[in-house]
Chain A
């Protein structure tokens, strides 16, 4: 009963041969496809940097919009070529005696008369360096260059300075992701006039003219309050007759 006929044995051999063929063929097929797929990846890896690189990426720099140096003051005159003449602070201030009481441009008779000064109770020489007018000084009389003015501001405005250091104060441009590009940041004096740091009033730009804000020409603005049921004027309908 358990014996297998010749015919059955032959069928078994053919069947198993077929299975081997199918699996083997599949492998060859898979191999061909896999090599096809891998080719462009290999080419890309050869051309550019290796893709799986867990090493820390090099960061692009953060630029600060620093002043070029000490400011120059306009003399109100022009040279023979018609160009306005500007001079360094030290041109005049090396020979004039410093006045520690001055706290407004209106107190002066030469230069800086029109200076709008609204910055606490500071005097000019609270920040400007009486030893060298081409620089500034900190509260401890340590000299600070004009390009490092943020150190000076930070002495009093610590909260803003802390936020600034963490990117939470001050405008910027460029990339949020420094691994992909650089960033340019404003410094204090790009936005705040150091002599009058409070932001001035500005005229806002036009609002969008959509149905919620300003109606388009020829359309009435829908009053949202008019949609509410008028509780005070209309009597309730469900009351007793």
Chain B
């Protein structure tokens, strides 16, 4: 038998080993090889089905259009319009609210700056509340892009501040420092994004394409001002509380699993309006304007007040400033 060579091996497969099968080539018994093939195929199919299982579940809450949507910067005006209309329809379907989602572009010759007067801020958190409402934040978590720190007078370390204060304000030995996105010139959150879902716009606002973000939260870790928020759940907002004036890059309702941040209310400010937190401030502590306009209020503050930059030593060059009356 051994002298038969390769032909003999092919003709009488299985008989040499003396393992499975009955030894006759035409008896119809299942050979070991066939069994192994069958097992392999079954396992392979099962593994494949398991691997694509998330796709079948996921198809329920993500449309094919959304899955195939391109990065914001690669969208043509026509495509962008299709996306905006689709998002409006999705908001209508999900939340029952009629909203308008626009995409105002940066203005030529405008770079936004924000200054906050720590001498008059009384820590009432009205700004945080206005942000909560304006930017369609999740209601159960009381989310807001502004976190107000109650600080011991004489200190400047934001990390030692208390954000959970609930006594009437202002307390005599405390001062209050609201912190939101500082719109850095060198934003570390943008540097760490692995998919370029966040970037700095020409008017200085750092934005997020919520449909491109993969929710890795690197940017949240990178931000020294704790300014970024993560949508752990799908935002819950009653239909009648939804702000219908929405921007693609700002306050449209964010999907679950994406990062979000303060955009200086760009759907308002790029149309010439003041940010919501400024309008809500009862003490007039907030000053907003165009850093490139020498006659603007913000420039007057920077030139005439005692101005300081939070965590200036990091060298991130924020477009947000704090000042004191003197």
Complex Cα spacing A205 to B165, Å: 10
Secondary structure at the A interface, as helix, strand, loop or mixed, is: loop
Report yes or no: B288 in contact with A176, Cβ–Cβ below 8 A. yes
Query: Hey, which chain A residues are within 8 Å of B288, CB to CB?
Result: 176
User: Residues of B contacting A155 with CB < 8 Å?
Assistant: none
With A168-B305, A175-B274, A181-B272 in contact, is A204–B166 under 8 Å at CB? Answer: yes
Q: A205-B129, A207-B164, A209-B142 are in contact. Are A175 and B273 (CB under 8 A)?
A: yes
The answer, yes or no, to whether A191 is at the interface (CB within 8 Å) is yes
- Identify which of A163, A204, A208 contacts B144 (C-beta below 8 A): A208
Q: Find residues 6-43 in chain A having any chain B CB closer than 8 Å to their own CB.
A: none
Indicate whether A199 reaches chain B with its CB closer than 8 angstroms: yes
A175 vs B115: C-alpha distance in the bound complex, in angstroms?
16
Would B274 and A202 count as touching, CB distance under 8 A?
A: no
Scan residues 181-211 of chain A and give those whose CB is less than 8 A from a CB of chain B.
181, 183, 186, 191, 199, 201-210
Given A207-B164, A214-B164, check contact A181 B273 (CB 8 Å): yes
Determine if B258 is an interface residue (Cβ-Cβ < 8 Å). Answer: no
> A175 is contacted by which of B163, B272, B287 (Cβ under 8 Å)?
B272
Cβ of A94 < 8 Å from any Cβ of B? no
Docked-complex contact A213 and B164, CB < 8 angstroms: yes
Task: Tell me if B279 and A176 are in contact (CB < 8 A).
Answer: no
Q: Is the CB of A171 within 8 A of B283?
A: yes
- Residue pair B272, A180 in contact (C-beta under 8 Å): yes
Q: Is B125 a contact partner of A205 (Cβ separation < 8 A)?
A: yes
Indicate whether A97 reaches chain B with its CB closer than 8 angstroms: no
The stretch from B53-61, B92-100, B192-200, B296-304 touching chain A is B296-304
Q: Report the contact-size class of chain B (Cβ under 8 Å from the partner).
A: 35 or more
Measured between alpha carbons, how far is A213 from B179 in the docked complex, in Å? 13
A169 within 8 A of B: yes
Q: Which of A149-188 contact B (CB under 8 A)?
A: 159-160, 163, 166-177, 179-181, 183, 186
Q: How far is the CA of A169 from the CA of B166 in the complex (A)?
A: 26
Q: Are A191 and B282 in contact (CB under 8 A)?
A: yes
A216 within 8 A of B: yes
> How does the 8 Å CB contact mask read for B270-284 relative to A, with 1 for contact and 0 for none?
011110001101111
Q: Please, how many angstroms separate the alpha-carbon atoms of A190 and B122 in the complex?
A: 17
User: Please, which residue of chain A has its CB at the minimum distance from the CB of B168?
Assistant: A201
Contact partners of A180 in chain B: CB under 8 A: 271-272
What 1/0 mask marks residues of chain B from 95 to 134 whose CB sits below 8 Å from any chain A CB?
Answer: 0000000000000000000010100101111101100100
Q: Which residue of B lies closest to A159 (CB)?
A: B325
Within 8 A of A (CB), among B212-255: 226, 229
Q: Does A212 touch B at the CB level, under 8 Å?
A: yes
Q: Are B281 and A171 in contact (CB under 8 A)?
A: yes
Is B187 an interface position by the 8 A CB rule?
no
Q: How far is the CB of B256 from chain A (nearest CB, A)?
A: 15
Which residue of B is nearest A165, CB measured?
A: B300
> Distance (Å) between the CB of B46 and the closest chain A CB?
36
Can you list 16 A-B contacts with CB-CB less than 8 angstroms, sorted by A residue number? A159-B325, A167-B300, A168-B117, A168-B287, A168-B297, A172-B274, A201-B168, A201-B170, A204-B168, A206-B142, A208-B163, A209-B141, A209-B142, A209-B143, A212-B163, A212-B226
Known: A177-B272, A204-B166. 20 other contacts (CB 8 A): A166-B300, A167-B300, A169-B117, A169-B120, A170-B284, A171-B282, A175-B273, A176-B273, A180-B272, A183-B274, A186-B284, A191-B284, A199-B283, A204-B123, A204-B125, A208-B132, A208-B147, A210-B141, A210-B229, A214-B164
5 A-B pairs with least C-beta separation: A180-B272, A167-B297, A177-B272, A201-B168, A205-B125
